[in-house]
Amino acid sequence: MNNENYKLETILSHMADIGGIKDIYGASHMPIYQTATFDLKKQGEDPYDYTRSGNPTRDSLENLLSAACSAKGTILTHTGIGAIALLLETFLTYNSKVLIDRDTYGGTYRLLKYYKEKLNVNLVFADFRDHDQVDNLLSDNSITLVLIESPTNPGLKIIDLKAISKLTQKYGAILAVDNSLATFASQKPLELGADISLFSTTKYISGHGSVIGGAIASNKTDLLKRLRFVSNAQGRNQNPMDVYVVSLGLPSLPVRLKAHEEKALVLAKWLEKQSCVLRVVYPGLESHPDHELAKKQMKYFNGVMTVDFDSIELAEFTVANLKLFSEKCSFGTPDSRIEIPGKISHASFSEEELLEIGIKKSTVRISVGLEDVMDLISDLQGVFDEFRLLQTNSLGK
């Protein structure tokens, strides 16, 4: 099936055709080829020999994701952080320099600190909204890899991917964009000039909180060749069963993102009006400093926001007492989640590092699910009322 003219929604709904690998019975959804080995009949020319190196279920989803990401190739990994590890393993050598934002997912930061110890990798920090600063840092051509998120997690800053890719191209650094929060349905980093787009499929892509996975995609044949070699050599490829579970979420990705966004926007606007809330950071809000860029760059704003409460006590009370938002890590699931970043997703940051990116102990990260938004609002309202009552009662004693 020639997919050149199809829109994303069509591509995602036709895995069996777009994936390009025909099941012998014409199954409408690619089945799970749960096998370690395949017949070796043609002495080295068989399409498959060993699942670590290749598997029809995995190839089919990789092909589909390549079409969705405008990539020449995609590699599926066991986890999202596994995709980042594959990137670092492939391109970093002793003393390499990596340019990143401090406002980066905690697991990525922990991994980079590991490479700092293991390979003496230098971590250079930049605020990617300051293009002059980035130009300056890249200008001596010593940076090997630039790794960015947009929106950043947890600060939700929006980075101008086109502008940054112009700079990395000017100085010959590899630009990799972690697209876990936005997803390719919202923005396609490779079309904006990035060399590599990678993401966790654990979140919005699979969409149901039922599997862990990652993907790394590129439109550069030489980079893909190196990534594929390391992935196979180190056994980083995702197993067929998990690939299949990831694939189940894809057709509904655009409609889910739209629904997450609609609910998140209503909730964010309501939260902004609460006297106990000091700040709501959500790219879909006009008050977000990068709102105009977000509108230009992203199709959906999704369901993740950060919220500053007026006290640590209220933040902790809210997280502990909500009924519909559970205290869990991760985001992009049908159920809403809430967490204090410093305790869970960004536990690898020190208090000072978190403060540097504007995350306080009274900051929570919320992932708005697919519930009825009025139910979510009454849950929050109930907890705020209960907290106020407890405070009034303790003052009266």
Ligand X SMILES: Cc1ncc(COP(=O)(O)O)c(C=O)c1O
Footprint on this chain of ligand X (rule: CB under 6 A): 79-81, 105, 107, 149, 153, 178, 180-181, 200, 202, 212, 214, 330, 345
Closest distance between ligand X and the C-beta of residue 138, in Å?
A: 23
Nearer to ligand X, 182 or 383 (CB): 182
> Closer CB to ligand X, residue 91 or residue 105?
105
Q: Where are the beta strands (DSSP E) in 126-211?
A: 143-149, 174-178, 196-200
Phi–psi pair at 37, nearest 5 degrees: -135, 165
Distance CA 69, CA 187 (A): 9
Q: Which is nearer to ligand X, 274 or 326 (CB)?
A: 326
- Smallest separation (angstroms) from ligand X to the CB of 393: 38
Q: What is the residue-wise DSSP string for 361-377?
A: TTEEEEE--SS-HHHHH
- Cβ count near 189 (within 10 Å): 30
User: Closest approach of Cβ 204 to ligand X, in Å?
Assistant: 11
Distance CA 247, CA 26 (A): 17
* Beta strands in the chain, from DSSP E residues, in sequence order: 73-77, 97-100, 122-125, 143-149, 174-178, 196-200, 214-218, 277-281, 304-309, 326-327, 337-339, 363-367
- Backbone dihedral region for residue 217 (phi beyond 0: left; psi -120 to 50: alpha; all else: beta): beta
Q: Report, in Å, the least distance between residue 246 CB and ligand X.
A: 10
* Nearer of residues 186 and 345 to ligand X, judged by Cβ: 345
Q: How far apart are CA 241 and CA 210, in angstroms?
A: 12
Fill in the DSSP letter of residue 305.
Answer: E
| Residue 201 CB, nearest approach to ligand X (Å) | 7
User: Cβ closer to ligand X: 330 or 391?
Assistant: 330
Q: What is the β-pairing status of strands 326-327 and 337-339? A: parallel
Closer CB to ligand X, 9 or 89, in the complex: 89
Minimal distance in Å, beta carbon 385 to ligand X? 32
Q: Give the amino acid at 307.
A: V
C-beta of 143 vs 216, nearer to ligand X: 216
CB of 214 to ligand X, least distance (A): 5
Minimum distance from residue 250 beta carbon to ligand X (Å): 16
CA distance 376 to 268: 11
Name which of 212 and 224 has its Cβ closer to ligand X.
Answer: 212
- If DSSP codes are grouped into helix, strand and coil, which group holds residue 110? helix
Q: Which residue is nearest to ligand X (CB)?
A: 80
Q: How far is the CB of 300 from ligand X (least distance, A)?
A: 16
d(CA 230, CA 236): 8
For residue 174, what are the β-bridge partners? 145
138/211 with CB nearer ligand X: 211
Q: Please name which of 71, 42, 140 lies closest in space to residue 99, comparing C-alpha atoms.
A: 140
Tokens describing residue 341: 């970043």
Phi/psi at 326 (5° precision): -95, 150
